[in-house]
Structure 1
Amino acid sequence: MTNHGTSNSKEIIGIDLGTTYSCVGVYQNDRVEIIANSMGNRITPSYVAFTENERLIGELAVAQFPNNPENTIYNAKRLIGRNYSDENVQSDKKLWPFRVVQKYGDKPYIEVQYKGEKKQFAPEEISAMVLGKMKEVAENYLGKTVKKAVITVPAYFDDTQRQATKDAGTICGLDVQRIINEPTAAALAYGMQNKNELDEKNILIYDLGGGTFDVSVLYIEATIFEVKATGGDDHLGGEDFNDKLVEFCLDDFKRKNRQVKGDLTKNVRTMRRLRTACERAKRTLSNAKFATIIVDSLYDEHDYQTTVSRARFEEMCGGLFKRTLDHVAKVLQDAKLSESEIERVVLVGGSTRIPKIQELLCKFFNGKQLTKSINPDEAVAYGASMQGYHLSGVQEFRGLISFEILPLSLGLEAPAGFMDVVIPRNTIFPTRKSKTISTDHDNQTQMNINIYEGERARTVNNTLLGQLQLTGIQRAKRGVPQIEVTFTLDLNGILTVEAHDKHTLCNDEIVITNDRGSLTNEEIDRIVKEAENFIQEDQKIKARIESRNALEVHCYAIKIALGNTNQNNTLISGDLKLKLIKASDDCLEWLYNHMDATKEESDQKLKELEIISSPITYLLVFPDTRNAKEKEFNVEEID
């Protein structure tokens, strides 16, 4: 590990946990450094794969995807904090090659084959594996263990999804210091990179990623960022554009091959190959007017080829593009601002590279120039890193200060099933608000208090977050007892609700962790232990691979050293040369035939080869024999 600059034990990394890609950064030496992974990439695919021998994360998981689609997990962010019965989950699971099953009531779990056994993982576990990879990337860069992080989530994530994301951080060994909204993080990135231009202005962050869409309006005054309104869709992004192309290709294939029987969507490998080709075409169409989709032997030995124009793609996705603008209009309405009052429209997220989206957005804002000065893939991690530095307390922070707002109203169930709002949406948090309620019946000594999240008038149409059961209430006529219910929303947007009877002083409290989507403490403890086992397994696999590599390198070093010696050189006898070449060839063949060899077995082979090659060690170090000591070696010296 290499230490790049001064490292402080209080450092807090910033992680953008994305649907398709994730990114990590850290503030060091008066700037944010977005950290490249071991492959040299600054963003890492949010993919996790399970094979017969190991677990793979990131680029390695993507590389083996075509041959192992049923056991390669992606888009876990679309499952986290949701119910199995959620209509979006039911829709998505039909398109994924891996299995999503129902477990523990109504929770979605992902089922794979790993080392010959059936395994089931919660979405939080898969997200924890990706977060763990980001943690490892940061540790390799900093040369030290990382314990603390700021993690971003879509602005429209509800309480359950935020808590589930925090659980994922806990599972991978991170102390999550703050959960912040992705648009706010992007705004911080914009602000830090344009500090000299900041004055009083309204900016709109349009954040369209692989799986989620967020839009937020922020007001900047000096270095203070206040979120005025936020909105979006936690199930809208680049993956949905891919779906449209896939649907088009399926219809096109059926039209061109009417004689083909069977359902293409039931063939996992067919769908995976087609989806990969469609995603490639989508990216091409951001820079070209046409893209060709080619898949050899797509289904039943039939090849498939078609050309899609940018105009046709825009027509397919027109409804989805318009949905983003509907959210923009709603957020402006909530912020009580007109299009002309927005000074900057900042683009974030890889999907904002689509030309039609930029065209529609520019037109929506009456020709206003869009701001593309920040890297759309890295901006969120950049802002999270700034927030981490602010929280670290390393030194006085003179950067930007941000204030988050609540995306959905929080309240209680009133009589007749109506929503009684306690904290309205777009309220800045942290915040604490109370409401006094009373009993519905005479001499009632206990009551259930249901806590909801949402904007509908009736609670049946909103989301139940949890329930308090208050006992020991003062016996009195209905409406007489005074029950104070207090909602406390912390810096992470996580809710605590407390109720107490002002007369008897009985009370109850609940931190909304929400059984409908979040993990119990027992589940987290179990998963943490499993995660530790994965780390140990990964370390063993890494040690085994390094041992194999060392043996292979030594074999080729012998062959290269002997190949570089002059034919007239008398330092090495012919018999010795043949014996050394044979020994190295035998080891290479052994490696090929023993792919699952243990570290100890490879180490033993290397030790034996080193003994055999010890007389020519100087050649391995100094291949130029003119600098070597004049001495002849022969085969007898190593017998």
Structure 2
Amino acid sequence: MTIIEVPRKSNPPNARLPNTGKKPETSKENKQKVENIPLLPIIFICSVVTAWCLALLLNSFGIVGNDDWFDGSSQEVRIHPQHGTPRYRPQPHSEAPNDKYNHKIGGYEPFIAIEYGAFGSRVGASVDGVMKIFPVNGRLKTPNSVAYLDEGVLVGQDEMDLPFVNPKNIVYGMRSMMGRRFSTDQTLHRDTQYLPYEVINKEDKPFIRVVVNREDIILSPEQIQAEIFRQLKLAAQDYYSEEITHTIMTVPAYFTDDQRQAVKDSARLAGLEVLRLVNEPTAAAIGYDAQNQEYLNARDESFVLVFNTENADTDVTISSIEDGMFGILSTTRGEFTFDPPNRPAGESVDYRYDITSEQYQERSDKHIAEQLITTVQNALTAAKLQKGDLSILIMTGDESAIHEIQPFLETFFDGKTFLSGVSPDTAVLRGVVYQAEILSGDLDGDWVGAFDITSLTRGIETAGGLFQAIIPRNTLVPTRKSLNVTTIHDKQTKMMFNIYVGERAFVKDNTLLGSFELDYLEEGPAGQVVVEVVCELDTNARPEIRATELGRGNMAVWNAGEGFDERHMTEDLQKMLVDAERYREEEVVEMRRYDGKVADGDEFGIVVVPREEEVEQKRQQMWK
């Protein structure tokens, strides 16, 4: 919502100047000339100057953009359905008929793409093959802040725009709160205790308290963020002149399943259904057309580093590209400052030290390089790669910061340059718009990369009640992985497959998804019959398990079905992850006792057939 300041009406032509109480010191002739001066032209000129100054003032606050104010198009004020206060909404652009751009996607309305950034968000779409960004209140990038006033709600304004508003009612940073819990996230309390607005613990989740018309209002982060998503939606609707209900949206690669679901819930409150969530580094790489670089064709698998910086926050993501599919290997977050630390950590003493500007710049450069290299090196270590293994380097985010830090990174990578040709600030939005265009059917192409991750490991039960992982957590979907299993009894003609999700070593501590049997196996000694188990996840992370007897083709299939919703099985995701880490050492000891043993009543059990490389590795260890 935007509050529009209406210019004051000019004085009528017959208005008189205020009486000063002094008698004019003029002759009769001069007095007659003054009375005959026409006031209407003077009032008209003053009104024009006043309106011009008012327009510049509104534009400086971001309330009205230059194009919206001066292009002569009509403006419309609508009443916000919830708060009953005016919202500024420009009329659709008039350079061409609107129905020309009403591209449909499988019966959906016009399809939009949203870049959900840490500090600001943008909405765009592909128009005749060109990315178009829809401005909100004259801004191409809307700050992720919401101000709650007695008169209504202001979206996209910060403290600098609203100096006379209570800072406790200006709320921002919802992206870092959604989907988190106080009991399982140790850093959440630290992240929220120094904010200017009030954060409370409600049902183990962060909520925000604001005061409107002297009444306390408790809001969830999803409700607050929905105000911003609603404005992005309205901006696109103004362009297309019809209702929009579907979108593709970007999220950080490190987001958990709960955080991703919270983003979807927030968008749903704004009237948007999120069909796909795209990881920001993947969208950035697509925006640079990284998957189509010519030199990638010579390698089966290539590696891409995406360095993102925004407001001194940095994150480095390393992905693999194979057959046009992106897989995230590691994500590391960090911070950097341009100024080196110049205060001693000891007691305060009187000390003077003269330093030249060149010496200060040298210290500053060294300080920046150390911070950047540490973050990049941590990402390389987590991905188990060397800097020479990287094929593509990409930078996204704040262009002014990129200009300063890019030389340090290129030096670290031995002169290897970053991809260019695309604005780093819009690369993420460009990538997600490209994906939206493919989804809409307006562009012939294949899906590039995956758009969600598995929140928990998928696997099956093996002998002794052990949990055998097939697809680890944080794997990008869609995906397909397999392993081989064999019988544990002589003349065993049936196998029972119990599918679980979780991170614990024993199935009793994980969540059962379903079960199925493979019958009519060939009779033979234990370990002779080999069955391939394939676990496949679609774009919505719905699992399908296939068990096929090798050599005979005997097969059984289990799938979760259309109504599968993993959220109901992983509501306490953070607690499950904490417990897995807490009991890891104890479970390792217990696994050594039960590995390969048959539990009581395990008539149709299975054991995993080691892969050749695993057998060779164990053989080498024995020789050592």
Q: Could you state the TM-score of these two structures normalised by the residue count of structure 2? A: 0.57
Residue by residue over 1:243-275, the C-alpha shift from the partner in whole angstroms, topping out at 9 and shown as x without a partner, is: x98x989999x979xxxxxxxxxxxxxxxxxxx
Partners of 2:515 and 2:170 in 1: CA distance? 49
Post-superposition offset of 1:331? 6.1
Corresponding residue for residue 207 of structure 1: 308
1:7 aligns with one of 69, 86, 101: 101
1:16 aligns with one of 106, 111, 115: 115
Corresponding residue for residue 457 of structure 2: 410
Task: Provide the secondary structure at the position in 1 that maps to 2:289.
Answer: helix
Aligned runs of 1:409-558 on 2, under 5 Å?
410-411=457-458, 420-424=468-472, 429-431=477-479, 451-452=501-502, 467-468=511-512, 489-491=537-539, 494-496=540-542, 511-513=565-567, 514-516=570-572
Distance 1:82 1:341, change over 3 A: same
Distance 1:123 1:28, change over 3 A: same
Corresponding residue for residue 418 of structure 2: 370
Name the amino acid aligned to 1:29: D
Corresponding residue for residue 138 of structure 1: 236
Aligned runs of 1:251-400 on 2, under 5 Å?
321-330=372-381, 333=384, 338-350=386-398, 353-354=401-402, 357-394=405-442, 397-398=443-444
Post-superposition offset of 1:132? 1.4
Post-superposition offset of 1:205? 2.3
Distance 1:434 1:28, change over 3 A: same
Corresponding residue for residue 43 of structure 1: 141
Post-superposition offset of 1:56? 1.1
Aligned runs of 1:31-110 on 2, under 5 Å?
31-39=130-138, 41-59=139-157, 63-64=161-162, 67-85=165-183, 86-104=185-203, 106-110=204-208
Distance 1:212 1:241, change over 3 A: closer
CA contact (8 A) 1:155 1:214 kept: no
Name the amino acid aligned to 2:450: E
The structure having more radius of gyration, on CA atoms, is 2
Partners of 2:547 and 2:325 in 1: CA distance? 36
Distance 1:30 1:486, change over 3 A: same
Aligned runs of 1:126-205 on 2, under 5 Å?
126-191=224-289, 200=297, 202=302, 203-205=304-306
CA contact (8 A) 1:413 1:452 kept: no
Name the amino acid aligned to 1:110: I
Partners of 2:343 and 2:266 in 1: CA distance? 36
Partners of 2:538 and 2:262 in 1: CA distance? 16
Task: Provide the secondary structure at the position in 2 that maps to 1:163.
Answer: helix
Task: Provide the secondary structure at the position in 1 that maps to 2:421.
Answer: coil
Name the amino acid aligned to 1:511: D
Post-superposition offset of 1:311? 6.5
CA contact (8 A) 2:288 2:419 kept: no
Post-superposition offset of 1:323? 4.5
CA contact (8 A) 2:227 2:270 kept: yes
CA contact (8 A) 1:230 1:407 kept: no
Distance 1:407 1:326, change over 3 A: farther
Post-superposition offset of 1:59? 3.0
Name the amino acid aligned to 1:326: Q
CA contact (8 A) 2:320 2:326 kept: yes
Partners of 2:151 and 2:414 in 1: CA distance? 56
Name the amino acid aligned to 1:365: F
CA contact (8 A) 1:164 1:517 kept: no
Partners of 2:172 and 2:221 in 1: CA distance? 10
Name the amino acid aligned to 2:118: T
Post-superposition offset of 1:399? 5.0
Partners of 2:397 and 2:500 in 1: CA distance? 37
Name the amino acid aligned to 2:372: F
Higher share in helix: 1
Distance 1:423 1:175, change over 3 A: same
Partners of 1:25 and 1:198 in 2: CA distance? 31
Name the amino acid aligned to 2:425: D
Post-superposition offset of 1:225? 3.1
Distance 1:488 1:71, change over 3 A: farther
Task: Provide the secondary structure at the position in 1 that maps to 2:444.
Answer: coil
Partners of 1:508 and 1:18 in 2: CA distance? 33
Partners of 2:430 and 2:498 in 1: CA distance? 44
Post-superposition offset of 1:391? 0.5
Task: Provide the secondary structure at the position in 2 that maps to 1:63.
Answer: coil
- Percent identity at matched positions? 27
Corresponding residue for residue 319 of structure 2: 217
Distance 1:499 1:385, change over 3 A: closer
Task: Provide the secondary structure at the position in 2 that maps to 1:15.
Answer: strand
Post-superposition offset of 1:496? 3.8
Name the amino acid aligned to 1:452: G
Post-superposition offset of 1:14? 0.8
Distance 1:501 1:91, change over 3 A: same
CA contact (8 A) 2:143 2:158 kept: no
Partners of 1:204 and 1:501 in 2: CA distance? 37
Partners of 1:135 and 1:511 in 2: CA distance? 27
Distance 1:470 1:157, change over 3 A: same
CA contact (8 A) 2:125 2:433 kept: yes
Task: Provide the secondary structure at the position in 2 that maps to 1:345.
Answer: strand
Post-superposition offset of 1:162? 1.7
Residue by residue over 1:384-427, the C-alpha shift from the partner in whole angstroms, topping out at 9 and shown as x without a partner, is: 11111111124xx2356402287677235979998742213685
Post-superposition offset of 1:144? 2.7
Distance 1:501 1:340, change over 3 A: closer
Distance 1:58 1:25, change over 3 A: same
Partners of 1:58 and 1:342 in 2: CA distance? 38
Post-superposition offset of 1:76? 0.9
Partners of 1:309 and 1:68 in 2: CA distance? 39
Post-superposition offset of 1:83? 1.3
Name the amino acid aligned to 1:206: F
Distance 1:405 1:387, change over 3 A: closer
Provide structure 1 residue ranges, at least 5 long, that are not aligned to the other structure: 257-288, 291-307, 439-446, 474-483, 519-639
CA contact (8 A) 1:13 1:149 kept: yes
Distance 1:313 1:404, change over 3 A: farther
Partners of 1:49 and 1:487 in 2: CA distance? 47
CA contact (8 A) 2:393 2:419 kept: yes
Q: How many residues align?
A: 431
CA contact (8 A) 1:159 1:495 kept: no
Partners of 1:384 and 1:17 in 2: CA distance? 11
User: 428-437 vs 379-388, which deviates more?
Assistant: 428-437
Task: Provide the secondary structure at the position in 2 that maps to 1:169.
Answer: helix
CA contact (8 A) 1:37 1:44 kept: yes
Distance 1:138 1:314, change over 3 A: farther
CA contact (8 A) 1:345 1:370 kept: yes
CA contact (8 A) 2:373 2:409 kept: no
